[in-house]
């Protein structure tokens, strides 16, 4: 079968033939239909410092996907051939303290599909049955392919109550955009999002944010009158990983404000912690999705009318992966999809 593989240490990915996988006793095999390109995939493709320390070639990459089940292992009891499945890309041990307590998203032994083990940028993929989210209601295949990052957005956006609150999101990448859509859907009074990319800010306006602010030209504090605010934002969602974004967010939170932090900084961030203390702020780190409460919430939100499809801006055949990765890397787009049903 064809697969997109990190064949050796160094930049680049190769579309090559690899053996078709076979499911183990507790695994399901999928015919991959669509995949989404993630920032992690860009790190692996460019072979940056993180990738060099984490990835062991050869490796089939990719962890955002949807597929049709074509075969199940002998011990599989719930998933069946023909099911449409999105995959939870975090593989947990099931035996650590948090796993046994039902907090699988906090598993200390988590490994990543397409990072530590063979991924889904391929014609076929296998994953544990417990990681298969079966779609029981109609869902667009492109949207189903990005349930992984959509889950990051939902986990972040719903970490704190947003009903009637003023929400600040720093970083209008695909996850930030989806979080903005979720916050609006969940009843936030105002949702403001910041970035320095005008195309991404335009996307934010299309999904209905109240304010999309270019922070290379304006300070966040300038928008208070426009949003009928006087004391700062109630809930913050830091999606960018940029030091200046976190500092600005802290400076513009109201007393008792709450920050969910998903953006992963590449370096240490100097923070005025006296502001955090004196404002009595709560800062919560977010990683991945709660298994599987977040997945349930995602499906329900879509059934209730949430539309995240505007976040998907580009679609490519898998054979055109080089152009797809270039598009995803330039930062002038939303989510980029690879179609594995056409070449």
Q: What 3-state class would DSSP assign to 295?
A: helix
Map residue 168 onto helix, strand or coil: strand
CA-to-CA dists, residue 55 to 6, 7, 14, 127, angstroms: 9, 11, 15, 19
| 63 is annotated as contributing to ligand binding | yes
DSSP assignment of 91-157: E--S-SHHHHTT-GGG-TT-EEBTTTB--SSBSEEEEEGGGEEE--S---HHHHHTHHHHHHHHHHH
- Confirm or deny that 333 is annotated as ligand binding: no
Is 38 annotated in a binding site? The answer is yes
What DSSP designation does 296 have? Answer: H
The answer to whether residues 153 and 175 touch, using CB atoms and an 8 Å cutoff, is: yes
Identify whether the C-beta of residue 178 lies closer than 8 Å to the C-beta of residue 150. yes
d(CA 241, CA 110): 22
- Which 3 state secondary structure label does DSSP give 55? coil
Phi-psi region of 163 (alpha: psi -120 to 50; beta: other; left: phi over 0): beta
250 is in an annotated binding site: no
For residue 123, count other CB atoms closer than 10 A to its CB: 17
| DSSP assignment string, 225-275 | GGGT-SS-EEEEEE-S--HHHHHHHHHTEEEEEEEEE----SS-----HHH
SS3 label, residue 226: helix
In the set 43, 116, 135, 314, the catalytic residue is 43
Q: Is 91 annotated as a binding residue?
A: no
Query: Annotated catalytic, 326?
Result: no
43 is catalytic: yes
263 marked among binding-site residues: yes
From the candidates 35, 40, 156, 170, give the one annotated as an active-site residue: 40
Question: Is 200 annotated as a binding-site member?
Answer: yes
Question: Which are the catalytic amino acids?
Answer: 40, 43
Could you tell me which residues are annotated as the binding site for Zn(2+)?
Answer: 38, 63-64, 93, 96, 99, 107
Could you tell me which residues are annotated as the binding site for NAD(+)?
Answer: 175, 195, 200, 262-264, 286-287
Could you tell me which residues are annotated as the binding site?
Answer: 38, 63-64, 93, 96, 99, 107, 175, 195, 200, 262-264, 286-287
């Amino acid at each position: 079968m064809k697969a997109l593989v990190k064949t050796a240490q160094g930049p680049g990915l190769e579309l090559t033939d690899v053996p078709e996988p076979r499911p183990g006793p507790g695994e399901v095999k999928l015919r991959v239909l669509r995949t989404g390109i993630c920032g992690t995939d860009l790190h692996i493709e460019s072979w940056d410092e993180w990738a060099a320390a984490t990835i062991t070639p050869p490796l089939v990459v990719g962890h955002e996907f949807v597929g049709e089940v074509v075969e199940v292992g002998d011990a599989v009891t719930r998933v069946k051939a023909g099911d449409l499945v999105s995959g939870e890309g975090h593989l947990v041990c099931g035996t650590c303290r948090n796993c046994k307590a039902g907090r699988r998203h906090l598993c200390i032994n988590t490994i990543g599909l397409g990072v530590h083990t063979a991924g889904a940028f391929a014609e076929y993929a296998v994953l544990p049955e417990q990681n298969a989210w079966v779609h029981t209601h109609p869902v667009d295949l492109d949207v189903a392919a990005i349930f992984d990052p959509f889950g990051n957005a939902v986990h972040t956006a719903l970490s704190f109550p947003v009903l009637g609150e003023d929400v600040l999101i720093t970083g209008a990448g695909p996850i930030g955009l989806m979080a903005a859509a979720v916050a609006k859907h969940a009843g936030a009074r105002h949702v403001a999002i910041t970035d320095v990319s005008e195309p991404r800010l335009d996307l934010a306006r299309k999904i209905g944010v109240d304010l999309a602010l270019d922070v290379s030209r304006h300070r966040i504090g300038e928008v208070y009158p426009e949003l009928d605010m006087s004391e700062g934002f109630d809930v913050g969602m830091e999606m960018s990983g940029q030091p200046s974004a976190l500092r600005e967010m802290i400076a513009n939170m109201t007393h008792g404000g709450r920050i969910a932090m998903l953006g992963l900084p590449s370096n240490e961030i100097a923070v005025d912690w006296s502001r955090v203390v004196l404002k009595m702020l709560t800062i919560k780190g977010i990683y991945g999705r709660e298994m599987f409460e977040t997945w349930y919430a995602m499906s329900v939100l879509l059934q209730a009318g949430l539309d995240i499809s505007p976040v998907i801006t580009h679609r490519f055949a898998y054979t055109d992966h080089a152009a797809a990765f270039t598009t995803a890397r330039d930062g002038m787009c939303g989510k980029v999809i690879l179609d594995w049903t056409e070449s």
